[in-house]
Structure 1
Amino acid sequence: MTQTTQLDVPSRGASTAHPLPEVAIPPAAPSLLGDTIGGERSAGLDSAHRALRDRLGSRGIVHVNSTDTGGGVAEMLHRVLRYSRGAGLDTRWFTIEGDPGFFALTKRLHHLLHGHDAPGPALGPAAVAAYRAAGECNARALLRSVRPGDLVTLHDPQVAGMTLPLRRAGVRVVWRCHIGTDTDNQYTARAWAFLAPFLETADAYVFSRAQYVPRLLGGRHVAVIQPSIDPLSAKNRPLDADTAAAIAGRIGLGEPPAGDRPAVYRRGDGSPAAVRRRPDALFSVAPPPDGAPLVVQISRWDPLKDMAGVMASFADGGHALGGAHLALVGPDVSRVSDDPEGGRVFANCVEYWRGLPLRIRSRIHLACLPMADAEENAVMVNALQRRAAVVAQKSLAEGFGLTVTEAMWKGRPVVASAVGGIRDQIHDGVHGLLVDDPTDGAAFAARTAGLVHDPKRAVSLGAGARERAREHFLDDRQLRQQAALYGTLAAE
């Protein structure tokens, strides 16, 4: 499946007049995690950071990706890097620049690596030339800010083209791929054939699952590091039920606060703040009433997240789901610069919603959350996940699934597709419920309805989920693994 897309090859001088945009990262002391992870884990993290500082000397650690908003990688970098800086590591983060044709190409590569085809440019000589030129231009811009010997981690297909020019300049390069599939097919083969020449010179490679590592990297330095969440971030810190209900009401996904009062919460620095913004787009006949079970899926408006499939499953299983309501929630599509499909996916969901009978449509709500204030956006997500009776993640493919981890940490029961990294997070019937076939809407509705009507089981699964998230998926584990990898590279 291809479509004609104009790919512009940047000129030799393009993107070199100024450095790449740098993302501000306020430091946070890793010791803040101590009350959550305990003394032993906290001491282990401190020891790992101390050893890495000694090995790095004056060298810095740099991360590069495609955007600082709107996706799991960006969210993870905001959180993890603040602890790195708080540990005294010279850590910086830059985002690349590219035109719409470039991001259409990299979005197609994203789908192919998941084992699915998608519209986009043909992966022929023109695409190779444009991709190489974009990588070289962005690398030259980055080299205005990094030094030989620095360790640069490039995240995902958008930036793999920077590997060779950075290595030629004496920079150590790690390529981290957050996506993949357990089973190779014609689509994954096409993506890896395209990317392989750009990845040959990297010093190390990081994947979220061992099953994602392609055969072409056999014998190379490969690490498996799963993503994680920060329990102290605005998205995951404790939020009492009244505050969560007030925030949900403020954004139209719950009963509105009395007198239209602002929903007050505390920001990361301890200062009080109020949720004042409303969704950039909200399609809802009326807010879900208090007491109605709410099923929530929160994700990007990406076809592989199957938001329309969640809606169809809910509509077809409406009788079994009784008085439950469904909220499909994603970011403002205009603010996710590296995802050209978001607007189309959201528009398709709205069209499907409009065509539903009123008795079903009145129990389904679509919302695009504002992203002008990252912390306000995060606390909105926090409130909706805590308000949920069930959190859904009906992905057709999933590299890992941070929204699943977030819901688990909040003790919410999760119904999810048994795909990709979700299978590493949830043991079926212990930490949540899995649906083997992500396209089986009837099974998804049945498993969701079972939890809606069995609160005791839902509470039990939520408790198991929270303990598993605490043991395996908090940021201290990822920070220790990253320190070990960077320490090895620095010592070579």
Structure 2
Amino acid sequence: MANIKDYSSIVGQAVIDELFLLADKLKGKVIQNVNSTAVGGGVAEILSRMINLLRQLGVDARWDVIKGDEKFFNITKKMHNALHGVDVEVSLKELMYFQEVNRQNAKEMDLCGDILFIHDPQPIALVEQKETLGKKWVWRCHIDFTTPKEEVMAFLKLYIEKYDSAVFSAPAFARKLSIPQVLISPSIDPLSDKNRELPQEVINSVLDRFGIDRTRPIVTQISRFDYLKDPIGVIEVYKRVKKHIDCQLVLAGGGATDDPEGAKVLEDVKNAAADDPDIHVLLLPPASDIEINALQRASSVILQKSLKEGFGLTVAEGLWKAKPVIASAVGGIPLQIAHKYSGILTHSIDGTVHYLKQLLYEPGYAQRLALNGKEHIKNNFLITRHIRDYLLLFLSLYHEDDIVGLNEMGL
């Protein structure tokens, strides 16, 4: 694990000094994070890095994971899809089971934090304990709330409004709520195995292991196998571009323990790829960070063709590695890309095809976009900024008038 002091070479010593100053004001407070999975997805990835760094700053940060059976996670996946605007129905019986699992977790968990930091819908109903336990409660939403199904949103709102504040990743996700809302975008860790510099021989060995040709352009999308990441659409883009440019496609990612749809999506992706030897569909196990890093660094262009997206950390990862990125203009992605300056934003398969051909034909232009993108990520989306925002949020819970100030600052 990286040492918090190592980040000074990237962001400057003044940033690190400020983090220690803010953390010192939280002495004696326990920050307890709760989410639904320890492995897979951006939330678990961020927490696995952030908890260690917070502890190095002197903050008593902890992390617990709720338990649930297959039925529970099938329900929460339906809720997840409904919140993204997918036309699925979550029955009253399913919502009651969701509540029951949350209540069982509340009985079994030691909710010891002075601040209970609850992530996403799966454990949201733990806040029922607030009346008994007191303490400060924050709900952190990592998903795209742009066009949620109103019935599911209305159900969750009953819980959201019990919290002291709600945190969203992008302005478009803000809802009409009776509690303060705070904007805090996610981040990447530049010193993690997924993002640190790699020797060329490591990159080459990963490509050789997966049978990827280093001499031809490589187009890559890294993401969970999820319909909302539109991997089938990515294959369609590749096939249309392939008619003009001899390139390869890498679709790589893993699953998450709270996502039961992943196996079916992977099967559909393999069927769509058929027997094209230049489409590399890679189901990566947990702890494949070096492989993902190498694949991104070897890529000519990185795609993120999401239909809905809470933030899309893979966009920041690609830009941090000074790679040109083409991504859908959805959710939190436009915060990371200024179109035609630090990357490309698209709205359709046709647009993605057009810009992918342009970037592959014009590597000089692609590189200018990539360098601008890296600078933007350095200034806005590294983990040190993320920690600072969270420390300010935690402190504001004890100085509630300051939440208004945080909102005015865009935090």
Provide the aligned length of Structure 1 versus Structure 2.
400
My pick for the range that moved more, 205-214 or 299-308, is 205-214
- Contact 1:167–1:202 (Cα < 8 Å) also in 2: no
**Partner SS, residue 345 of structure 2:** strand
Residues of 2 paired with 1:233 and 1:301: CA distance? 23
Residues of 2 paired with 1:367 and 1:342: CA distance? 13
Q: Which residue is equivalent to 2:353?
A: 445
**Aligned 1:235-384 pairs, distance under 5 A:** 235-250=194-209, 252=210, 287-320=211-244, 322-331=245-254, 333=255, 336-354=256-274, 361-371=276-286, 374=287, 377-384=288-295
Residues of 2 paired with 1:491 and 1:426: CA distance? 34
**Partner SS, residue 296 of structure 1:** strand
- Contact 1:164–1:199 (Cα < 8 Å) also in 2: no
Opposite residue 160 of structure 2, the aligned amino acid is L
State, as a whole percentage, how many aligned pairs show the same letter. 36
Match of 2:187 among 228, 245, 250: 228
Match of 2:393 among 466, 474, 485: 485
Q: Which residue is equivalent to 1:195?
A: 156
Opposite residue 284 of structure 2, the aligned amino acid is L
Residues of 2 paired with 1:79 and 1:109: CA distance? 27
Opposite residue 66 of structure 2, the aligned amino acid is I
Gaps of at least 5 residues in structure 1 are 1-25, 253-286
Q: Which residue is equivalent to 1:79?
A: 49
Match of 2:299 among 383, 388, 403: 388
Deviation by residue 1:365-414 (Cα, 9 ceiling, x = unmatched)? 1010122xx2xx11110000000000000000111010000111100000
Q: Which residue is equivalent to 1:34?
A: 8
Residues 1:52 and 2:11 aligned together = no
Deviation at 1:233, TM superposition (A): 0.4
Deviation by residue 1:298-333 (Cα, 9 ceiling, x = unmatched)? 00011000011100121133212x1110000011x4
Opposite residue 159 of structure 1, the aligned amino acid is P
My pick for the range that moved more, 130-139 or 187-196, is 187-196
**Partner SS, residue 317 of structure 1:** helix
Gaps of at least 5 residues in structure 2 are 401-411
TM-score, normalised by the number of residues in structure 2: 0.94
Residues of 1 paired with 2:154 and 2:136: CA distance? 23
Residues of 1 paired with 2:48 and 2:115: CA distance? 18
Q: Which residue is equivalent to 1:411?
A: 322
Opposite residue 116 of structure 2, the aligned amino acid is V
Residues of 2 paired with 1:83 and 1:305: CA distance? 30
Residues of 2 paired with 1:346 and 1:171: CA distance? 42
**Aligned 1:161-172 pairs, distance under 5 A:** 161-172=125-136
Q: Which residue is equivalent to 1:141?
A: 108
Match of 2:144 among 168, 174, 180: 180
Residues of 2 paired with 1:426 and 1:125: CA distance? 40
Q: Which residue is equivalent to 1:210?
A: 171
Residues of 2 paired with 1:103 and 1:462: CA distance? 38
Residues of 2 paired with 1:248 and 1:165: CA distance? 50
Deviation at 1:170, TM superposition (A): 2.2
Residues of 2 paired with 1:125 and 1:429: CA distance? 46
Deviation by residue 1:156-185 (Cα, 9 ceiling, x = unmatched)? 011111111244222321110011243x3x
- Contact 1:84–1:91 (Cα < 8 Å) also in 2: yes
Residues of 1 paired with 2:61 and 2:145: CA distance? 30
Deviation at 1:491, TM superposition (A): 4.6
- Contact 2:121–2:141 (Cα < 8 Å) also in 1: yes
**Aligned 1:109-148 pairs, distance under 5 A:** 109-118=79-88, 122-143=89-110, 146-147=111-112
Deviation at 1:238, TM superposition (A): 0.7
Residues of 1 paired with 2:188 and 2:120: CA distance? 19
Deviation by residue 1:450-480 (Cα, 9 ceiling, x = unmatched)? 1111111111111001100100000111111
Deviation at 1:152, TM superposition (A): 1.1
Deviation at 1:41, TM superposition (A): 1.8
Larger radius of gyration: 1
- Contact 1:295–1:326 (Cα < 8 Å) also in 2: yes
Opposite residue 160 of structure 1, the aligned amino acid is I
Structure 1 vs Structure 2 CA RMSD: 1.6
Opposite residue 266 of structure 2, the aligned amino acid is F
**Partner SS, residue 193 of structure 1:** helix
Residues of 2 paired with 1:405 and 1:197: CA distance? 33
Opposite residue 177 of structure 1, the aligned amino acid is C
Deviation by residue 1:423-469 (Cα, 9 ceiling, x = unmatched)? 0100011111111x2xx222212211111111111111110011001
TM-score, normalised by the number of residues in structure 1: 0.79
